[in-house]
Structure 1
Amino acid sequence: MREEYPRPDFVRNEWMNLNGTWDFIYGDKKTKIEVPFVCQSEKSGINKRITEDHVTYERKFCVPEEWKGKEILLNFGAVDYQCRVYINRSCIGGHIGGQTPFLFPIAKYLTWAEETIRVEVEDPLKDEMIPRGKQFWEEESSFIWYTPSTGIWQPVWLEPVSRTSLEWVHFTPDIDEGTVRIDYQLAETSILPCRVHLLITLEEDEIFHGNMLCNTARNSLTVDIFRKKAMEGSFHFMGNYWSPENPILYHVLIQADEGDSGIRADVVESYFGMRKIHIENGKLYLNNQPYYQKLVLDQGYWKESLITAPDDLEYCNDILKAKAMGFNGCRKHEKVEDPRFLYWADKLGFLVWEGMASFWSYTPQAAAAFTREWLDVIQRDYNHPSVVVWGMLNESWGVPRIYTNQQQQSFAQSLYYLAHGLDSTRLVISNDGWEMTDSDICAIHSYKHGEIDDKQQHQLFAECLRKVENLFFIMEKLPYAKGFCYSGQPIVLTECGGIRIKKVKSEENTRENAMQAGDQEWGYTSVPDTDFLEEYERLIHTIYDSDLINGFCYTQLTDVEQESNGLLTRDHRYKFKPEDIRKINDRKR
């Protein structure tokens, strides 16, 4: 059972875990399921690829007697895709969107004896307008599509709050000024004016301690973290910046009082990092220094539990293994990852390019649903210093006519400007892979590095990485949509590699014939295991030899179902000595 507190950047000490055994109903069957693992996974106890679009969860619970007199919040990390929630047969609300959290106040529905919760889920498996990422709508996984995931897949929990309480807090660092702006929202039930206390510490050192009387529910405070004004620019605080090499986090304790009484009403723990990502002269900079991105594609799948990690340490271990191989970050692919992964990325020092699960068929309604959910992603993950790029669309999925279609181009542009309008601290990619509109990074995908003995393709791949005008020769589609063009952005090879190890002789698999054949051992190119390191070195060093490329993202971290092109197995075990991969990756610092 997943037992860790689910929301690591907004922690309350009092809470009750509702993960564990629930009743589960699908079709005419009633069985038991282990939440938060989806029924299609082994860890759920069901391990069945169901065909039903509707499923139901039920369980009993008792709320601690000492919570009486407070509001009780029922929290869901994520439920795929649409649900209605009942407490003691009363419908308390619903939610649409499979990637993002939601909550309901439930105190007025409680009996303060044994309570019943019921969650009715609808997940139309064949609806191509729903953001579902890599979840396949057919009976068996094939090509780059995987087992679907229905229902609750992130934790469920309760927590008590007073009438005056905090709803959210955002930290916006500015390393040039040495400050952090703290914005926070109080619940609309809060007694105003109320006093809010802030304590910021770095390890054992107190950085700031103060309070303010709040007359409105939303408030803001800017804190001089580096004390630049006091020192008149006579210092350089490189050591206090967050980076993969030095992941310094500031701890924050926020307390809201009941009015101006001095009586504590709510206490939340959080953290932030002083980090800056920006573009200058066609290069990517981290904390005002050029920084080469060595990323690995991470799809966030586990053999026994699919899109939910078996336990919290699995997130930690994946990051540690990627870092041991010399990667400084990942591109999360077609999935909004659990906040616990982002916590470990913050703590361990690991860059994250965060993306959204794609939909497949464009309609204005699908675009609107995608956008609403994407807004919740930014709201949820705003505080994580590890997140340096927002990447919404991928390879024109959901916008298949974007090259010439003005409506689909406008949709991609609207996502780009919306993300910048909500968050000024990160870079944004409109359509990762090709057919880009406005974008901070020229993010291209290419698996045309050639098979191991194809010297002619090797040379072509190397030559095309040296000139912008030649990139399209090694891409499946043109880099930019019609009417848009390259204008000096940093170029990053955001998908490449995908090399699988041959187990038996087979025909060469391309993306197209693999889709038709449903190959169960698939990669973009293949080599014997004895040749893998040499082939990996050839690819990475070819990329490094290009002055045009500012970083790469190797496909991929782990094998996933029929895709056997991971650096780790489906069990997330090393295929090679990590130091051998690191030696290759470390050629460029």
Structure 2
Amino acid sequence: MIDREKMASPRPDFYRRGWKSLNGAWKFAFDDENIGIREGWQNGHAYEREITVPFCYQSRKSGIGETEGHPCLWYEREFTWEEQAEDARLWLNFGAVDYEAVVWINGRWAGGHRGGHTPFSVEMTPFVSRTDKTARVTVMCRDSYDTAQPRGKQHWNIETDRCWYTATSGIWQNVWMEITGPRRMEHVRLIPLPDQGEVRVKISFAEPDACGEVRWKLKFEGGEIGTGVVAVKGKRPEFIIAVRQEDPIDNTVHLWSPEKPVLYDLELEYLEGASACDRVETYFGMRTIEVKENHVLLNHFPLYQRLVLDQGYWPDSLMTPPDGEAFLKDLEMVRAMGFNGVRKHQKIEDPVFLYLADHMGILVWEEMPSNYEFCREGMGALLHEYGEVIARDCNHPCIITWVPFNESWGIRNVLFDQEQQHFAETFYHYTKALDPYRLVSTNDGWEAVKADFVGIHDYESDGEVLAEKFRDMEALMGWTAVGKMVLSEGRSYGGEPVFLSEFGGIAMEDGKTESWGYNEKAAGPEAFAERLSKLTGAVNRIGGLAGFCYTQLTDVEQETNGLLYADRTPKMEVDRIAACMTGEDGGGR
């Protein structure tokens, strides 16, 4: 069941009570001349502008709405907090800042981060007074249009075109404060093992000398089903919790699936002696995902995936949802339109989205935002940030597939260039080392390298022509579907599952020359519906596919091939869309 209190928090999957939101009005300035550091703006500056955090300055919701490039940004805000224990520690948390951030507390350097899609924290304790309980936070952000920088669908020029959109600079996810005891659980990794009836718990502390005990409490559907105390020592302790089934006859755990997204709640409290140091509320789903021959199996049973491409943009707020209900409305629409999952395209989404997908039973492919230049700097930046992505999101049962690369972006010569092939396959092995419990589509779309399955993109408008291409899988794997080789040179097909992981892209005539979809625009709603029915009908009749991903959920700026307009209004009746996606409409026959 969705907990509205947790849904309103920045990390419902890693929840601490008593957090304080720092969203809202911040002082703001552009620093195009890059003089802020030299002049010491962190020690005081006459800010003339204001911005609404967490919206980027390019968005209208920020209160600024300027799309010109500004490579250096400054933010500042003062805030206070409530009484805390003498040994308490104060933490300032950022959900995501694009691309580099430096943080000062009361004019003193407190930390920083590089990477536009992943969270970071800085400790405030050494820089604030415990008497007045006031802090002045200053943040400097740098965001260039460097194509070596992981940027996803953000255009590297000011003017947008094709399938690249308005850039996002600076703070674009939640900012909040937390108070812990003298020691903090920095990260908790949960590894559900349904076949063994247990979950492995790995805790990372902020410091290396933890020596105390963890008290855990396991709940299912609100009822307590287990408690325990574990002595822990060192920076990264781990232990196992048995997940007991109350039914002695069935003797199985409750399994998570799209049809029944059941979750176990886990409370973890760390203590040293009589001192409570930190307490976190989290959860996990007991499920397995694997490949056997040419099938994907969820909980050891075949899974057919009906996904929709979801880019997560809104007209007034860009990559940040306009309000707390936006994700819920999107996922309710996904389900109503007959899909059982989303491919979150070129974006690392807010944790609230994944929390809702976990609770609603929506499968997720999580895709790393691409950079667009193969160089030493780009390789390092991509690899580093990708590791942070997996660390943040590896506990979500909804995520079943990681996608490091899309359509050879950033590795344009991977078809024949062995350096780029080695780099791409590094991500496959790196992913499996970090998270061997999910699937990997290493370079989704074409020119595949080592992966758990083959994902093919094909925007053929004629459904029967599309179906004919996939009639002989062996022949298709050795050649091309869309003018790009399906496999990179030196790679061979080993009978892995095959996904049609992008297709469709139908746009409706709107009288605008700058808007586009794949192939000719449909003349109106009925023409749109007829084309959709014929195309999805043919895809649903293709034997041997492990699933598909329809492009796309919503219109995004000039790309108007969504099933919904950008304001989330459906372009045809939702039940008709669902019938197309599930094949219940007969495929236009």
Q: 2:466 aligns with which of 431, 438, 461?
A: 461
Kindly state the Cα deviation for residue 61 of structure 1 after the two structures are TM-superposed.
1.3
* 1:31 paired to 2:62: no
Q: Deviations over 1:274-321 (max 9, x none)?
A: 111111121111111111000000001011100000112111110110
Tell me what 2:436 maps to: 424
The 3-state SS of whatever aligns with 2:325 is helix
* 1:339 paired to 2:343: no
Please identify runs of 4+ aligned residues in structure 1 that moved more than 4 A.
none
Kindly state the Cα deviation for residue 183 of structure 1 after the two structures are TM-superposed.
1.4
Q: 1:303 aligns with which of 287, 292, 315?
A: 315
Maintained 8 Å contact 2:7/2:355:
no
The correspondence of residues 427-446 of structure 1 with structure 2, limited to 5 A, is 427-446=439-458
Q: Distance in 1 between matches of 2:11 and 2:30?
A: 30
Kindly state the Cα deviation for residue 436 of structure 1 after the two structures are TM-superposed.
1.0
Kindly state the Cα deviation for residue 186 of structure 1 after the two structures are TM-superposed.
2.8
Tell me what 1:470 maps to: 476
148-157 or 526-535, larger mean C-alpha shift: 526-535
Kindly state the Cα deviation for residue 267 of structure 1 after the two structures are TM-superposed.
1.2
Kindly state the Cα deviation for residue 224 of structure 1 after the two structures are TM-superposed.
2.4
Q: Distance in 2 between matches of 1:459 and 1:560?
A: 28
Kindly state the Cα deviation for residue 237 of structure 1 after the two structures are TM-superposed.
3.9
Q: 1:494 aligns with which of 486, 498, 501?
A: 501
The correspondence of residues 327-476 of structure 1 with structure 2, limited to 5 A, is 327-450=339-462, 458-468=463-473, 469-470=475-476, 472-476=479-483
Q: 1:243 aligns with which of 257, 260, 264?
A: 257
Maintained 8 Å contact 1:523/1:563:
no
* 1:211 paired to 2:225: no
The correspondence of residues 69-468 of structure 1 with structure 2, limited to 5 A, is 69-112=87-130, 113=132, 114-125=134-145, 127-188=146-207, 191-192=210-211, 194-227=212-245, 231=248, 235=250, 237=252, 240-257=254-271, 259-261=272-274, 263-450=275-462, 458-468=463-473
Summarize the Cα distance change of 1:431–1:4 in structure 2 as closer, same or farther, 3 Å threshold: same
Tell me what 1:8 maps to: 12
Maintained 8 Å contact 1:196/1:256:
yes
Q: 2:82 aligns with which of 64, 69, 72?
A: 64
**TM-score for both structures, normalised by structure 2:** 0.92
Summarize the Cα distance change of 1:382–1:291 in structure 2 as closer, same or farther, 3 Å threshold: same
Q: Distance in 2 between matches of 1:186 and 1:460?
A: 56
Kindly state the Cα deviation for residue 534 of structure 1 after the two structures are TM-superposed.
1.9
Maintained 8 Å contact 1:142/1:520:
no
Q: Deviations over 1:80-109 (max 9, x none)?
A: 001111111111122110010001111111
Tell me what 1:453 maps to: none
Summarize the Cα distance change of 1:66–1:220 in structure 2 as closer, same or farther, 3 Å threshold: closer
Kindly state the Cα deviation for residue 189 of structure 1 after the two structures are TM-superposed.
6.6
Letter matched to residue 103 of structure 2: V
Aligned length: 561
Maintained 8 Å contact 1:165/1:190:
no
Kindly state the Cα deviation for residue 555 of structure 1 after the two structures are TM-superposed.
0.4
Maintained 8 Å contact 1:523/1:564:
no
Kindly state the Cα deviation for residue 330 of structure 1 after the two structures are TM-superposed.
0.4
Q: Which runs of 5+ in 1 are unaligned?
A: 451-457, 507-517
The 3-state SS of whatever aligns with 1:365 is helix
Q: Which runs of 5+ in 2 are unaligned?
A: 1-5, 33-46
Maintained 8 Å contact 1:448/1:474:
no
Kindly state the Cα deviation for residue 68 of structure 1 after the two structures are TM-superposed.
4.8
The correspondence of residues 567-586 of structure 1 with structure 2, limited to 5 A, is 567-586=563-582
206-215 or 359-368, larger mean C-alpha shift: 206-215
Q: Distance in 1 between matches of 2:372 and 2:532?
A: 32
Q: Distance in 2 between matches of 1:97 and 1:495?
A: 27
Maintained 8 Å contact 1:181/1:222:
yes
Kindly state the Cα deviation for residue 522 of structure 1 after the two structures are TM-superposed.
3.8
Letter matched to residue 122 of structure 1: R
Summarize the Cα distance change of 1:359–1:198 in structure 2 as closer, same or farther, 3 Å threshold: same
Kindly state the Cα deviation for residue 236 of structure 1 after the two structures are TM-superposed.
6.3
Q: Deviations over 1:26-62 (max 9, x none)?
A: 1478311000000011110101102211111111112
Summarize the Cα distance change of 1:567–1:379 in structure 2 as closer, same or farther, 3 Å threshold: same
Q: Deviations over 1:228-252 (max 9, x none)?
A: 9x95xx52648x2111111101111
Summarize the Cα distance change of 1:131–1:524 in structure 2 as closer, same or farther, 3 Å threshold: farther
Kindly state the Cα deviation for residue 111 of structure 1 after the two structures are TM-superposed.
3.0
Maintained 8 Å contact 2:337/2:575:
yes
Maintained 8 Å contact 1:544/1:588:
no
The 3-state SS of whatever aligns with 2:549 is strand
Q: Distance in 1 between matches of 2:515 and 2:579?
A: 31
Q: Distance in 1 between matches of 2:215 and 2:324?
A: 31
Percent sequence identity is 38
Q: Deviations over 1:550-577 (max 9, x none)?
A: 1000000000001110011111122221
Tell me what 2:515 maps to: 520
Tell me what 2:552 maps to: 556
Maintained 8 Å contact 2:208/2:235:
no
Letter matched to residue 472 of structure 2: K
Letter matched to residue 390 of structure 2: I
Q: Distance in 2 between matches of 1:21 and 1:347?
A: 32
Letter matched to residue 307 of structure 2: L
Cα RMSD between the aligned structures? Answer: 2.0
Kindly state the Cα deviation for residue 533 of structure 1 after the two structures are TM-superposed.
1.9
Q: Distance in 2 between matches of 1:430 and 1:191?
A: 38
Maintained 8 Å contact 2:209/2:233:
no
160-169 or 116-125, larger mean C-alpha shift: 160-169
Kindly state the Cα deviation for residue 583 of structure 1 after the two structures are TM-superposed.
1.5
Q: Distance in 1 between matches of 2:85 and 2:285?
A: 34
Kindly state the Cα deviation for residue 460 of structure 1 after the two structures are TM-superposed.
2.8
Q: Distance in 1 between matches of 2:442 and 2:63?
A: 39
Q: Distance in 2 between matches of 1:280 and 1:34?
A: 49
Summarize the Cα distance change of 1:86–1:493 in structure 2 as closer, same or farther, 3 Å threshold: same
Maintained 8 Å contact 2:29/2:75:
yes
Summarize the Cα distance change of 1:536–1:305 in structure 2 as closer, same or farther, 3 Å threshold: same
The 3-state SS of whatever aligns with 2:196 is coil
Kindly state the Cα deviation for residue 185 of structure 1 after the two structures are TM-superposed.
2.1
**TM-score for both structures, normalised by structure 1:** 0.92
Tell me what 2:39 maps to: none
Q: Distance in 1 between matches of 2:466 and 2:222?
A: 52
The 3-state SS of whatever aligns with 1:337 is coil
Kindly state the Cα deviation for residue 226 of structure 1 after the two structures are TM-superposed.
4.1
Summarize the Cα distance change of 1:236–1:584 in structure 2 as closer, same or farther, 3 Å threshold: farther
Kindly state the Cα deviation for residue 473 of structure 1 after the two structures are TM-superposed.
4.3
The 3-state SS of whatever aligns with 2:29 is strand
Kindly state the Cα deviation for residue 521 of structure 1 after the two structures are TM-superposed.
4.0
